[in-house]
Amino acid sequence: MATTTARREGCLKRKRRAAGIIEGISLRSLAAERKTDSRLADYNHSVHGRQPRKPRATITLAMEIRASLSAFVNKQLSRFGYALIQTAAGRRPPYFASHQGKRYAYEPILIPDGLAPWATDDDFLAVWEKVQHNTLVDIYRCYELYQTIREIVPVPGDIVEVGVWRGGTGAALAAAAARWKPDAHVWLCDTFSGVVKASQFDSAYRGGEHADASEATVEGLLRALGLVNASILKGVFPDDTAAAIEGRRIALLHIDVDVYQSAADVVSWAAPRMAGGAVMIFDDYGFSSCKGITRLVDELRSGGEWLWFYNLNGHAILIKR
């Protein structure tokens, strides 16, 4: 009984401490919001010539402050399984950023009543239960990868993932292939020593990130799922390991390498090996930390070889014409 009481008191203390943190942050956030609203009002008045126009940089700074505060609040709330969201009625203008001569706009996006087919797909949920701790990809993107295998059954070729980390999405792809496309083999390509080929086009990555992974971890996950249709290619792809699949066609290519040049080299190698209807999925498209990926996908889109779709979950989906 004493132990139970102590646990309850400890839980209450943590909740009070969290509430205090959030309340303090909320007050600061409210003050920042009022300043932001005031600046936006000044900007709107200036359009009609009633007072001097505020510089765009001032408005952008206010938006960035709001985004930073929101991110900090949600980081604290996430420890307790909660998050603050902004409804459509309270939508604010996007904030802008420029990198290497390209302009980007960002804003939080809420879909208040979206269909959730993953919640009723028992086969997928069984896979997700085992892979979710081996991936940084959320359930929405993971489900989309899983279901895409179902859509490419008539397309000739294998499945290739470049950027495996601890194997979560790769295992999900292999599980889906075993279910719907058993004639396809899944090739999982990673350095297992972190991100490579970071360049001036990449806003956050410098190289070496995500090195906390190993070939053995991925092998263990595949065994846990009873999957025998996947092989691991360790090294830089395509530089070191593409020769192992030189004669293979590709029906689905999942690129999760985070940086421009690495992804560009993968596409250059893979595109000629993809038939019409083959699918290429980029993770991290539109993420502010992966501006190089956004740049590359936008370049591919303008080339006319691919049909382009942007999913708000962070995937760019390109289908070979």
| Residue whose structure tokens are 């930073």 | 68
Q: Do 253 and 228 sit in the same domain of this protein?
A: yes
Confidence at 65, pLDDT banded by 50, 70, 90: confident
Mean pLDDT over each residue of the chain, to the nearest integer = 84
Confidence at 114, pLDDT banded by 50, 70, 90: confident
Predicted local distance difference test score (pLDDT) of residue 9: 55
Q: Do 95 and 240 sit in the same domain of this protein?
A: no
Q: What is the mean predicted confidence (pLDDT) over 129-154? A: 98
What pLDDT digit, counting tens, does each position of 115-130 carry?
Answer: 999 999 999 999 999 9
d(CA 41, CA 289): 30
Domain count for the chain: 2
Using DSSP bridges, classify how beta strands 158-162 and 250-255 pair: parallel, antiparallel or unpaired.
Answer: parallel
Q: Do 132 and 208 sit in the same domain of this protein?
A: yes
Among 106, 125, 146, the domain-final residue is: 106
Among 49, 77, 106, the domain-final residue is: 106
Confidence at 280, pLDDT banded by 50, 70, 90: very high
d(CA 29, CA 31): 5
DSSP state of 54: P
d(CA 108, CA 63): 11
d(CA 274, CA 110): 35
Q: Do 147 and 65 sit in the same domain of this protein?
A: no
Residue 15 in any domain: the answer is yes
Q: Do 76 and 127 sit in the same domain of this protein?
A: no
Nearest to 97 by CA among 84, 86, 107: 107
Q: Do 316 and 286 sit in the same domain of this protein?
A: yes
Residue 184 in any domain: the answer is yes
Q: Do 168 and 204 sit in the same domain of this protein?
A: yes
Residue 287 in any domain: the answer is yes
Query: Is the Cα torsion angle 203, 207, 208, 213 positive or negative in sign?
Result: positive
H or E element that contains 299: helix 291-303
| Residue whose structure tokens are 């939508």 | 91
What pLDDT digit, counting tens, does each position of 154-206 carry?
Answer: 999 999 999 999 999 999 999 999 999 999 999 999 999 999 999 999 999 99
Nearest to 169 by CA among 149, 145, 151, 186: 145
CATH of the domain at 298: 3.40.50.150
Residue 9 in any domain: the answer is yes
Q: What is the span of the domain harbouring residue 94?
A: 2-106
Q: Which residue has the higher pLDDT, 290 or 33?
A: 290
Residue 280's SS3 state is strand
Encode 31-40: b = buried (16+ Cβ within 10 Å), e = exposed. Answer: ebbeebeebb
Q: What is the mean predicted confidence (pLDDT) over 57-74? A: 72
Q: Do 150 and 252 sit in the same domain of this protein?
A: yes
Q: Do 200 and 71 sit in the same domain of this protein?
A: no
H or E element that contains 41: helix 2-47
Q: Do 35 and 79 sit in the same domain of this protein?
A: yes
Q: Do 213 and 187 sit in the same domain of this protein?
A: yes
Q: Which residue has the higher pLDDT, 151 or 64?
A: 151
Among 56, 86, 106, the domain-final residue is: 106
Residue 47 in any domain: the answer is yes
| Amino acid in the structure at residue 88 | A
Contact 60, 105 (CB under 8 A): no
Q: Do 30 and 153 sit in the same domain of this protein?
A: no
Residue 111 in any domain: the answer is no
Predicted local distance difference test score (pLDDT) of residue 87: 57
Residue 237 in any domain: the answer is yes
DSSP state of 52: P
Residue 112 in any domain: the answer is no
